Chains A and B, each alone.
Chain A
């Protein structure tokens, strides 16, 4: 079955410390992987994506993610967390389906709380 797992409901980190939000996936074929962020009472905003090429992808607001094919992971990272990074983060993967319809599957989300 094709799926995305975000194993942590919440991640707590102190401001200035590095942060990691984990994502693993299961999909047949080559995955397209995405991270989106949702601030309170807002829609999701795109952070970054992996399509092909360099396994380390850099995105908005200083975030980056590393694609690891052997571990089927796409963890989101930032070297130094800010209080303003506190939000809900979603990992998503494109899952090729028969008939040409490709479904974007979202994880359940991880709430990031950055404490001063």
Chain B
């Protein structure tokens, strides 16, 4: 049982380049999330998807777009990368309902994607 799988694990971009981080979960979870982790700042929510077909902004959505391709997959796109987007990105999923939010249910995280923007 793989859980949450993220690709790529590492990526180096130049300012202005675009890229997509892929995430897939095999736990039949309704809700999926993208977080970024920066030193001394904990994890901050970028976007989330309560259920297939819906997406909503989190704390720090600027510069990012997301797509909930199907129930399993939730991708994060950087259209024009900036050095401020250098970070470690985590995808997570949880069992939530149609109003799915990170509530009482536990999040399962992927291993992370380390992105460096030069």
Contact = CB atoms under 8 A, between A and B. Distances in A.
Nearest to A46: B106
Interface in B80-112: 90, 92, 99, 101-104, 106-112
B53 interface: no
A103 B58 contact: yes
Ordered nearest first, which 5 A-B pairs have the shortest CB separation? Answer: A43-B109, A104-B102, A106-B42, A102-B101, A106-B43
Contacts, number: 60
A101 B41 contact: no
B45 interface: yes
Contacts of B40: 9, 108-109
Interface of B: 4, 40-45, 56, 58-59, 90, 92, 99, 101-104, 106-112
Nearest to B109: A43
Contacts of A80: none
Contacts of B41: 108
Contacts of A104: 45, 102-103, 107
Main secondary structure of the interface of B (DSSP, over half): loop
Given A43-B109, A43-B110, A108 B42 contact: yes
A51 interface: yes
A32 B108 CA distance: 17
A24 B112 CA distance: 27
A90 interface: yes
A102 B103 contact: yes
Contacts of B59: 103
Contact of A41 (B42, B44, B90, B112): B112
Contacts of A108: 40-42
A43 B102 contact: no
Nearest to A104: B102
A53 interface: no
Contacts of B104: 32, 49, 51, 94
Given A41-B112, A90-B42, 14 more contacts: A34-B106, A36-B109, A42-B112, A43-B110, A43-B111, A44-B90, A51-B104, A94-B103, A102-B101, A102-B103, A104-B103, A106-B42, A106-B43, A107-B42
